[in-house]
Amino acid sequence: MERKPPPQAPAAAGRKQLAGNARPLVGKAKRRLNFWSRVFVHFDTDSGSPRKAALRIVETVVFVLAAVLLSRWIAPDDPFGISAQFPWIWLVPAILAMRYGSAIGVTAVATMLAGWYGLSYQSGENASQAVVSAAQAFPQPYFLGGLILTLLCGQFAEVWNARSRRLRAINAYLDERLTMLTKNHFLLRLSHERLEQDLLSKPLTLRESLDRLRSLTLTQTMLDPARMPAGDAFLQIMVQSCQVEAASLYACDATGRVLPDPLASVGKVSEFVGDDPLVKYALEQRKLAHVQTESVNQSLRNQSRYLVCAPLENFDGKLFGMLLVEKIPFVALNEDTLQLMSVLIDYYADGVEVGTTSRSILQQLPTCPPELAVDLVRLHHLKRNTGIDSSLVALVFGDDDLSRDMFDQIRRLKRAADVVWTYKSGGRNVLMTLLPLAGAAAVDGYLMRVETVSHAQFGNKFLSNYAEAHTAAIGVEDPSRLLPNLVERCAV
């Protein structure tokens, strides 16, 4: 006997009907928004904002009408310069098109055309006569040539603006990488100096402490992403490296307000004072502040109970923590110590704010370098926002002696901007390289360079006979799936 489904409640049926009716409305709203965003991009090549586009249209109309009126005042008989040696009035639409694009140029030409008919209407005896005389005397080659000139200028502006946006995006990414390399270089130099000075008195070098802090930070972040991880370990490194004697680490809420309860502390610390002048200055300026900061008033510095106040920010500039140092030796409060403290804080903040996608990648691939996961997410956003290509290249080598030698040789060909991950998969060696700002042509160039080196180094031995190459374009799919899929392809 066939079982009939139970009848639905009227309220549930009503909710389902409302949800079904709402889906087409939402789809229509999204399509309408996408349509207007594409339209306004032609009016505003920088942001596609309807408000800016409307302001620029008004600006175009005002400038063109002002030019027509000025030309009418200078040459009443020939305001458009038709019989002159050069029609200077066309410089206004050309300049506007070169500044804002083809759509604004067409708007300027239409305004000039309206000005032509307006002046013809004023000079005629009546409306019908004015329209007929204006149509008969309309200079078609004159306006056609001006329109072509304006469109050429607008096309040049659009191409140039597109190239400018692309270069700005590339420079922003390279500036970020340069900042990270500068911090790492400074940490490397300081670690060597400290290692030479007190190697016998310290069980760990600065580099080893930072590596432990990085791994501990990532581990605790994956276990509990809502809590600031490894606060005690971070303060211990501050004590070891900067001679801090009393300090506290505080968290901030979503609005950037410092919470009064410390997450971690070292030494004898007092309760948090939110209205401390040095704390206010550090929160306003979003940078490390200390009692010797010259931009802070001397009386305010004397009122502060803290010696150093340092905010912790993520990649997007969002404040999520605050470090307050209450006691430090006088001889240690110098420029080198403060610079090292600032770099250590940035290093810790980078480890905390690796992002949800990076944590997902590291959970799936525990041996993946954190730098590769973080850069993969950054380049994915760069591709989605600006269309700049980046690529992943994986070379899978065999386990014989010649293949291992090739693997070691090609691993040393890493460029400064590349991020390399080496691991073993089923008895084979895998060399995975992240190529930032590299499209398909750059990947081919990289493979040709590797092939040339192996051919010259190993006596006319071709790389294709000893290694398999797998590539993946960043931005095609989500990074949390892109890298695991490429690892699976290398394992086949």
**Predicted local confidence at residue 39, as pLDDT:** 47
Regions in the chain scoring below 70 on pLDDT: 1-49, 120-137, 197-227, 315-316, 350-351, 353-357, 385-386, 416, 460-461
CATH assignment of 367-491? 3.30.70.2880
The rounded distance, in Å, linking the Cα atoms of 295 and 335 is 16
Closest alpha carbon to 214 in 227, 202, 201, 230 = 230
- State residue 225's pLDDT score: 60
Cα 106 from chain centroid (whole Å): 34
pLDDT at 426: 79
Q: How far apart are CA 238 and CA 213, in angstroms?
A: 11
Residues of the chain with CATH 3.30.70.2880: 367-491
List the structure tokens of 139: 């200079």
Domain with CATH 3.30.450.40 in the chain: 202-353
Query: What does the alpha-carbon distance between residue 309 and residue 319 come to, in Å, rounded to a whole number?
Result: 13
Per-residue CA distances from 337 to 35, 49, 161, 351 (Å): 55, 47, 44, 21
Q: Where in 36-170 does DSSP place strands (E)?
A: none
Q: Which residues contact 44 (CB under 8 A, 6 or more apart)?
A: 52, 53, 56, 100
Helix (H) or strand (E) holding 288: none
- Cβ contact 229:212 at 8 Å: no
Q: What's the pLDDT at 387?
A: 78
Helix, strand, coil percentages, rounded to 5, for the chain: 60, 15, 25
Question: Under CATH, what is the fold of the domain 202-353?
Answer: Beta-Lactamase (3.30.450)
Distance of CA 201 to the CA centre of its chain: 43
Cβ atoms within 10 Å of 275's Cβ, excluding its own = 6
Closest residue by Cα to residue 230 from 210, 203, 252, 244: 210
163-to-43, 46, 79, 158, 171 alpha-carbon distances in Å: 17, 12, 38, 9, 12
pLDDT of the residue at 121: 64
Write down how long the chain is: 492
CA quadruple 69, 72, 78, 84: dihedral sign: negative
At 438, give phi and psi (nearest 5°): -130, 125
Six-digit token string for 377: 């997410």
Q: Which neighbouring-strand residues pair with 248? A: 265, 324
**pLDDT for residue 249:** 92
For residue 315, the surrounding DSSP H or E stretch is none
DSSP β-ladder status, 258-266 and 419-425: unpaired
Q: Produce one character per residue of 30-45: b if its CB has 16 or more CB atoms within 10 Å, e if not.
A: eeeeeeeeeebbbbbb
How much is the pLDDT for 44? 45
Give the CA angle between residues 239, 315, 289 to the nearest 5°. Answer: 45
- List, in sequence order, the alpha helices (H) in 231-328: 231-242, 277-285, 298-303
Question: What was the pLDDT predicted at 10?
Answer: 47
**Rounded Cα gap, residues 124 and 126, in angstroms:** 6
